[in-house]
Amino acid sequence: MTTDAHEVDRGRRAFLVGVCGLAAVGMGSALLADDASAATGIVRKKNGQVEVSVKKVPGLGQVGSSVLLGNVKGVPTAVIRTGPNTYSALNLKCTHQGVTVERTGDAWNCPAHGSQFAFAGGLERGPAKSPLASVRSTFNARKGVLTVG
C-alpha cells in the first residue's frame, strides 16, 4: 500500500493548523498585538509608543491579567493590571541574559535558565539577580488610556 505525497502533506498541514489553534487558545488572557490592527483598543503610534484603551482590551479585564504588546521601541513588553484602576508595563527580557520570559500562571519564567519573576516583575528565583525592568508608561484614568514607551 502506497501513500500519496499530497495526502501526507494535507495531513501534516491539518496537524500543524490544529496545533497552532490549540496554542492560540492556550494563551488565555495573553494577547499578542504586533500590529495596531491586530487588537481592538491597541494602537501603535508613529513615535514607537503604544496606546492601550484598557476597557477595550478583554485581556485586561481583571486584576492579575496581562496583555503582550510585542516589541515597543525594540523591547518585548507586556501590560499587567495590578489593581482596580492601575496598570504597569514590563520589559520581558530576563535580567540574566536577555531571553524573553513567558507567563506561566502568576509568574514570568525564563525558558533558557529557569529564572522566575513574580507577576509584577519582582525576582523570585535566579540565576537572574534583579527584577524585570519597567517600561515607561502613563495612565490617563479619565480617558482610560495607558501610553507605553
Q: Determine, yes or no, domain membership for 21.
A: no
pLDDT score, position 4: 53
Cell numbers found for residue 2: 502506497
pLDDT tens-digit series, residues 4-32: 544 444 554 444 444 343 333 333 334 44
Q: Domain of residue 44: give its range.
A: 29-93+133-148
pLDDT score, position 37: 36
pLDDT score, position 33: 39
Q: Determine, yes or no, domain membership for 144.
A: yes
pLDDT score, position 20: 40
Q: Determine, yes or no, domain membership for 99.
A: no
Beta bridge partners of 76: 71
Cell numbers found for residue 70: 510585542
**CA dist., res. 45 & res. 35, Å (int):** 10
- pLDDT exceeding 70 applies to what percent of the chain? 74
Tens-of-pLDDT digits for all 149 residues of the chain? 455 544 444 554 444 444 343 333 333 334 443 333 346 789 999 999 999 999 999 889 899 999 999 999 999 999 999 999 899 999 999 999 999 999 998 899 999 999 999 999 999 999 999 999 999 999 999 999 999 99
Q: Determine, yes or no, domain membership for 56.
A: yes
Q: Determine, yes or no, domain membership for 14.
A: no
Q: Determine, yes or no, domain membership for 44.
A: yes
Q: Determine, yes or no, domain membership for 108.
A: no
Question: What's the per-residue H, E or C state across the chain?
Answer: CCCCHHHHHHHHHHHHHHHHHHHHHHCCCCCECCCHHHCCCEEECCCCCEEEEHHHCHHHCCCCCEEEEEEECCEEEEEEEEECCEEEEEECECCCCCCECEEECCEEECCCCCCEEECCCCEEECCCCCCCCECCEEEECCCCEEEEC
Q: Determine, yes or no, domain membership for 139.
A: yes
Mean pLDDT for all residues in the chain:
80
Domain count within the chain: 1
Contact yes or no for 131/117 (Cβ under 8 A): yes
pLDDT score, position 115: 96
pLDDT score, position 77: 96
